[in-house]
Structure 1
Amino acid sequence: MTPQEQLEGMNPETYAPYRDPREYIQSWTDKIWIARGLGHIFDHYDPKIKVHTCYGETYGMENVISNSLQKMIAFPNRGGGHDDVVWERRGDNGFISSHRVFNNATHLGPWTYGPATGKDWANRGVAHCVIQGGLVAEEWVIRDEFAVLQDLGMDPYVVAAELAKRSPVLGEQIKTGGDPPAFAGRYRDPIKTGISGDRPDHARPECETVVKLFDRVWEHKFFDLIPELCSDTIVCQTVRMGRALGISNYQLETMKLLAMIPDADVEIRDICVHDSADLGLRVATIWCLRGTYSGAPYYGPTNGAPLTILGSSHFEFRHGKIIREWRFFDEIAIMAQIINHQNQLDATAVE
């Protein structure tokens, strides 16, 4: 399904005053963050906006304005580029947008991580948004916060310990052992429906390839199937600005993620597909891993902490195979869950 075919019959007010959803996302992002038109948030967000992060939930316009204003002060030269906007129609009056961004800035003001350091940082992230009637109604945000701390010269374990006490977004305890709203429910057939609602039946072969990757490779550990699904020249861009080149390195990068949580239940929570003349066919996903920190001790000694890892992957296809993956998750959120669980174990031992 071409971009033009997706636009046919779609209410133009859904992405007005722009030409299409891609321009809608890029233009209002620039107006808010580059031109500092923070007030434009009122033009583009539903007053009851729901924002889901790796740490918790925020609801309503006041939280969006407050968090954005604080971030602008902390990183006044925050810039970066629009890596991609993968969008797909959701009914006649809406669409889903998976906006992949490259961020860079200088830490010039106070932030949740402490006073200004004057250091530069860069990271990547994804904003996965549901737009209805021209307004962002719901958003899932995933950022590589470890990369930021690494550039700022801060100890990620110290920051994660603080986050185990309070979320930088909500100011409340991180929830573990249960499913907060961002992770609630299950989507057993994400090709048909996911967190963004029912999706059109197009690009089924590519969607089935992605589902097979998560099910057979991630869930059931058939890493030898990767050459069947991916090009020999596969490149995975991942956290801490890392890159895995070629089949062997791609296998190892995927195994590394799963090794710390070997009992993980793997779920695709949303699929969004876009095929354009300039960038080809891309499949954007939101995924979730649920399990225990019982494998490789990447973040300190294993302690059986229950982990819920929210992530996103963008896949680029060529000739029916995956040639690029951009994979994002928040390691600091993982570490905070591990530390939080250890604190609970220590408290129980004292009692």
Structure 2
Amino acid sequence: MQRPQAEDMTGFDPEFSNLDQYIRVITRRIWDERRIDDIHKYYSDPCLVETPGAVTTDIADVVNGTVASLGIFPDRRPLAEDVIQSGDAQTGFLSSHRGISAMTHLGDGIFGPATGRRVHARAIADCVCKDNRIVHEWLVRDQAAIALHIGLTPRELAERWLKERGGWNKAVAGPAPGGYVSHVSEDPVARGYAAAIEGFARREKVDLAQVYDDAVHHIGPGGITRYGHEEVEAYWNGLFGALKVESFAVEHLAMQRGGGRADRAALRWRAQAVHTGDGAFGAPSGRRVEILGINHVEFHEGKVLREWVLVDDVVLWMQVLAEA
């Protein structure tokens, strides 16, 4: 794979010539080489980390979460698929890092007793990187894929977690540290894609032929693969068809062109909604839900040819099932 050219990395260790290299190297050191103490070197303390189901600020939570994950999946190896970036060294980079973990469920933990089953689960981490450290992270994992691979439905895992955690109690995330302002690209192709996702969320008619290539390949929650306009439209309508979206925000939108690669974009979005209809999440509950999603896409002649959608279906089920 062709790597990005050298760029201004002021404030970073001299060994790093660009952000792509920085993200791949520190990920390999922490996960592949099990250099857990390097978290203290490459993460600020405090560091605001938000997932769809939790908000933490203490660096000890990052360390403990890494150790716990390796206890459950001791052979876990995150395979880096792409890094899409925006920003700069002075104001702070934003890396949107997509990877898939190949691992075996060998330890007891939050996913229940060890099953010995092989698991493949994707994640995307959006990280603000400045002065050689990650200072803010948004992380979405495909928990549904893990559930399905170990013999549970996403709903069953959600019910287990609600019972163990005493209900739904996600904290409210604070502002980004250090004055970082998330980037929203003005690129018309990227903006058109973001507008299409908002259109699906608001149940508006989306002209798929203007946004998606005829041969679009979509990978969604649960690791489920879909092809073509009809199946992609069915996914988005299935997700939002049972929800009344009250607000939709594009939190980050980056577009990268050139470098011997297909044009590609990273989109982080957040929807506030009410579960009002039948559909993928059962009978209407009237519960308010929040969806934090991160999408990666690759374009061919201005249209989406490949789309990766990271939404945590387990956390969505938790919100729908939680007692008021």
Residue-by-residue CA offset, 1:159-200 (whole Å, 9 max, x unaligned): 212322455xxxx75337xx8217x89xxxxxxxxx951538
> Structure 1: which amino acid aligns with 2:15?
P
Q: Counterparts in 2 of 1:178-257, with a 5 A limit?
A: 180-181=172-173, 197=181, 199=183, 204-223=187-206, 225-257=207-239
Deviation at 1:220, TM superposition (A): 4.5
Q: Counterparts in 2 of 1:155-174, with a 5 A limit?
A: 155-165=153-163, 167=165, 173-174=167-168
CA spacing shift, 1:250–1:35, aligned 2, 3 Å: same
2:169 is matched with which residue?
A: 175
CA spacing shift, 1:215–1:107, aligned 2, 3 Å: closer
Q: Distance in 1 between matches of 2:31 and 2:44?
A: 18
Gaps of 5+ in 2: none
The answer as to whether partners of 1:288 and 1:311 remain within 8 angstroms in 2 is: yes
CA spacing shift, 1:23–1:4, aligned 2, 3 Å: closer
> Structure 1: which amino acid aligns with 2:191?
E
Q: Distance in 1 between matches of 2:299 and 2:320?
A: 36
Deviation at 1:277, TM superposition (A): 2.3
> Structure 1: which amino acid aligns with 2:168?
I
2:100 is matched with which residue?
A: 102
Identity %: 22
SS in structure 1 at match of 2:11? helix
Q: Work out whether 1:78 is the aligned partner of 2:70.
A: no
Q: What is the TM-score of this pair, normalised by structure 1?
A: 0.84
Q: Distance in 2 between matches of 1:139 and 1:199?
A: 14
The answer as to whether partners of 1:100 and 1:125 remain within 8 angstroms in 2 is: yes
1:192 is matched with which residue?
A: none
SS in structure 1 at match of 2:243? coil
Q: Distance in 2 between matches of 1:166 and 1:308?
A: 21
Q: Distance in 1 between matches of 2:154 and 2:211?
A: 35
SS in structure 2 at match of 1:114? coil
Q: Distance in 2 between matches of 1:278 and 1:218?
A: 33
> Structure 2: which amino acid aligns with 1:181?
A
The answer as to whether partners of 1:89 and 1:200 remain within 8 angstroms in 2 is: no
The answer as to whether partners of 1:3 and 1:275 remain within 8 angstroms in 2 is: no
Gaps of 5+ in 1: 186-194, 345-351
2:124 is matched with which residue?
A: 126
Q: Distance in 2 between matches of 1:31 and 1:166?
A: 32
Residue-by-residue CA offset, 1:246-277 (whole Å, 9 max, x unaligned): 12222112111111214453221111222342
Deviation at 1:107, TM superposition (A): 1.2
Quick check: which one's helix share is greater? 1
1:332 is matched with which residue?
A: 314
Deviation at 1:97, TM superposition (A): 0.4
Moved more, 226-235 or 30-39: 226-235
Q: What is the TM-score of this pair, normalised by structure 2?
A: 0.90
Q: Distance in 1 between matches of 2:101 and 2:189?
A: 29
The answer as to whether partners of 1:164 and 1:174 remain within 8 angstroms in 2 is: yes
The answer as to whether partners of 1:78 and 1:103 remain within 8 angstroms in 2 is: yes
Q: Distance in 1 between matches of 2:5 and 2:202?
A: 36
